[in-house]
A and B are shown apart, each in its own frame.
Chain A
Amino acid sequence: MRLRSLFRAQARKYTLSNDIGKMMKRAFEIIDHTADVGIIVYGADARQLFSNAALALFSLITDTESIEEKLQHALEISSQDRDSLLVEWLNELIYLFDARHFLFTRFEIESLSHNQLKATCYGESFDPSRHKIKTGVKAATYHMLKVDEDSQGYKAQVIFDI
């Protein structure tokens, strides 16, 4: 019970936009949600936000330090608006891991508008002898989805179904 209260305290604190700047040094953090798990991601700009969100996702799946850059995969995503673009981007990456077993560790966001994204992802194929799977992330949800922006940068919250 106590831990859940902590999560609420944490989530509340970070919704204050003037806290964004203070937290900018961190790329992301992992938060708890009763049946699932979430991330709070920071970025100096929207591109960095999307790239850090992808890194946060793969850090839930495995130790990203163990992923070598052996292949690259180009992606293009379009969506209704920026919030759903973030969810779709993460869902595309979840699909690439679940169906094609790609693990990525670096993301170059080549172009990003409010509803379109072009990126190249760098990583390798899952190798059970070297990669330990920590969590089976199955979907990025719209639940408690938040994307905030202020003069200091961006902050987003995404909850995953696991």
Chain B
Amino acid sequence: MPGWQGQLIKIDDYRWQIPQSYKSGMRVPGLIYATQKMLESIREDQTPEQVANVAFLPGIVKFSFAMPDIHWGYGFPIGGVAAMDIKNGVISPGGVGYDINCGVRLLCTNLREAEVRPKIHQLIGELFQNVPSGLGSEGKIKVSRKEMEQLMVEGSRWAVRRGMGLKEDLDVTEEGGCMEGADPNKISDKAVKRGMPQAGTLGSGNHFLEVQVVKEIFAPEIASVMGINEIGQILVLIHTGSRGFGHQVCTDHLRGMEEAASKYEIKLPDRQLACAPIESQEGKDYLAAMACAANYAWNNRQCIAHWARESFSKVFSKSPQELGMKQIYDVTHNIAKMEQHLIDGQKLKVCVHRKGATRAFPAGHKDIPQCYKEIGQPVLIPGDMGRCSFIAVGTEKAMEESFGSTCHGAGRVLSRGAAKRALKGKDVLRELQARGITVKTGSIPELAEEASLAYKDVTEVIDVVHQAGISKKVAMAVPLGVIKG
């Protein structure tokens, strides 16, 4: 069965260009970061066509980028990066995704594998009880409509103000855990109603909370600045987003954007790319609503981090401070942000869409926390639950080339249905247990959807971005215990 047959020009071992001439209407070429081997799988469906389609969007500069973890999304590919000139460019909700500010937060501990392994069942049980998860999970924090409005504006600060977390957590959260410009008036009643009961929940699907063990340190000096000092150290990784709230915000604004696209006479190769000029009312309204959803997601990860600390504290009978549970960093991988970049020697303000892609700013950049000024922004790349996750840092090369962006994870290769047909959830559970990974989930059959075979090997993905120079590998950790919604 033929997949995508278009032309790809090899730039080097890790860069492939879709020429602008591939399709009439492309404003810039496409650029895919991948190895030759990965391209075979990337070409199997129409993902590269989506990279080319994104290049149609008004105001796009340089390239329509695709990270090595790209897979077929709707409109934009997942793993896509596109920057639009704010003067004449567009904002597209499809370039952010439904799960606005889906992201990852990493906590450190001073515990070692030998101390945690004997208690892992108890710890995972405690975490499972303390962190609301699963399909349609509802939070243990009850949020009134008024509080929901505050939460949308304040982000992580909302939770910190209520004693859930530390002020220092905000310093090591992208955007300080609070995106400016959030306007609850741009949020529909439906979104509020979906969002209120789900505040502070992990959700389901590919979202998780993992207790991990550091297995390899590639750059010890950089790792130690983050508090990662030795092999065997225990970390906690939280992956979740804005739940039904973000989905409703995206759905609501896609509708408006559809009308806007025809109003502003923007020709689109795919309806799901609906967009509006950044400076238009529709564009501004979406950005104000997107910021609300981003803040909701940051608050979510803040609450969950707090309950994770409480759970560790209970199991190990020490305070989170005594356990060294400081936050390493929190990144978003579904967002659009106004940033300044150097393009052809000129400073240009652009709206960078990162859909399934992570910001990767270099050392010295003004937008990264003081404590990381010398090493660069931490980049957190979760893998699937059977393999491993990586910690990296942003680089100057990323800044020059990919608007300070890199990959976000492993990337799916098998649909959820195909994974379920190939594997049984209980077999996946047994195999993980045999490998010393304790799993707790609300739905064992769903576990098959998230099995290793459904994902690309994250090691190959991180090698590409490392070799291409758009981030630098720092450490690798493997799961010891997993909570799946």
Residues of B within 8 A of A79 (CB): 255
Residues of B within 8 A of A57 (CB): none
Proximity bits, B222-263, A CB within 8 Å = 1, else 0: 000000000000000000000010011011001100110000
Q: Which secondary structure dominates where chain A touches chain B?
A: mixed
With A32-B418, A136-B203 known as contacts, the answer to whether A8 contacts B1 (CB < 8 A) is: yes
Residues of B within 8 A of A32 (CB): 415-418
In the complex, how many residues of chain B place their beta carbon closer than 8 angstroms to a beta carbon of chain A? 44
Instruction: Judge whether B194 is part of the interface by a CB distance below 8 angstroms.
Output: yes
With A136-B136, A139-B98 known as contacts, the answer to whether A3 contacts B421 (CB < 8 A) is: yes
Instruction: Judge whether A80 is part of the interface by a CB distance below 8 angstroms.
Output: yes
Instruction: Judge whether A111 is part of the interface by a CB distance below 8 angstroms.
Output: no
Instruction: Judge whether A1 is part of the interface by a CB distance below 8 angstroms.
Output: yes
Instruction: Judge whether A91 is part of the interface by a CB distance below 8 angstroms.
Output: yes
Contact of A30 among B78, B204, B417 (CB under 8 A): B417
Query: How many residue pairs, one in A and one in B, have C-beta atoms under 8 Å apart?
Result: 113
Contact of A133 among B78, B135, B255, B274 (CB under 8 A): B135
Q: Is the CB of B415 within 8 A of A37?
A: yes
Q: Is the CB of A98 within 8 A of B194?
A: yes
Q: How far is the CA of A84 from the CA of B41 in the complex (A)?
A: 32
In the complex, how many residues of chain A place their beta carbon closer than 8 angstroms to a beta carbon of chain B? 39
Proximity bits, B60-74, A CB within 8 Å = 1, else 0: 000000000001111
With A1-B44, A33-B72 known as contacts, the answer to whether A139 contacts B418 (CB < 8 A) is: no
Closest chain B residue, CB of each to CB of A79:
B255
Residues of A within 8 A of B443 (CB): 133
Q: Is the CB of A84 within 8 A of B418?
A: no
With A32-B418, A99-B244, A162-B416 known as contacts, the answer to whether A141 contacts B72 (CB < 8 A) is: no
Q: How far is the CA of A157 from the CA of B194 in the complex (A)?
A: 26
Instruction: Judge whether B140 is part of the interface by a CB distance below 8 angstroms.
Output: no
Q: How far is the CA of A1 from the CA of B203 in the complex (A)?
A: 28
Instruction: Judge whether A14 is part of the interface by a CB distance below 8 angstroms.
Output: no
A-B contact pairs, 28 of them (CB 8 A): A1-B41, A1-B44, A3-B417, A4-B414, A4-B418, A5-B1, A8-B45, A32-B415, A34-B71, A34-B413, A35-B71, A36-B415, A37-B415, A37-B417, A84-B258, A91-B251, A101-B136, A135-B416, A138-B98, A138-B247, A139-B247, A141-B74, A142-B258, A143-B73, A143-B272, A144-B74, A159-B74, A162-B416
- Which chain A residues have a beta carbon within 8 Å of chain B's beta carbons? 1, 3-5, 7-9, 30-37, 79-80, 84, 88, 91, 95, 98-101, 126, 133, 135-136, 138-139, 141-145, 159, 161-162
- Which chain B residues have a beta carbon within 8 Å of chain A's beta carbons? 1, 41, 44-45, 71-75, 78, 98-99, 135-136, 190, 193-194, 197, 203-205, 244, 247-248, 250-251, 254-255, 258-259, 270-272, 274, 412-418, 421-422, 443
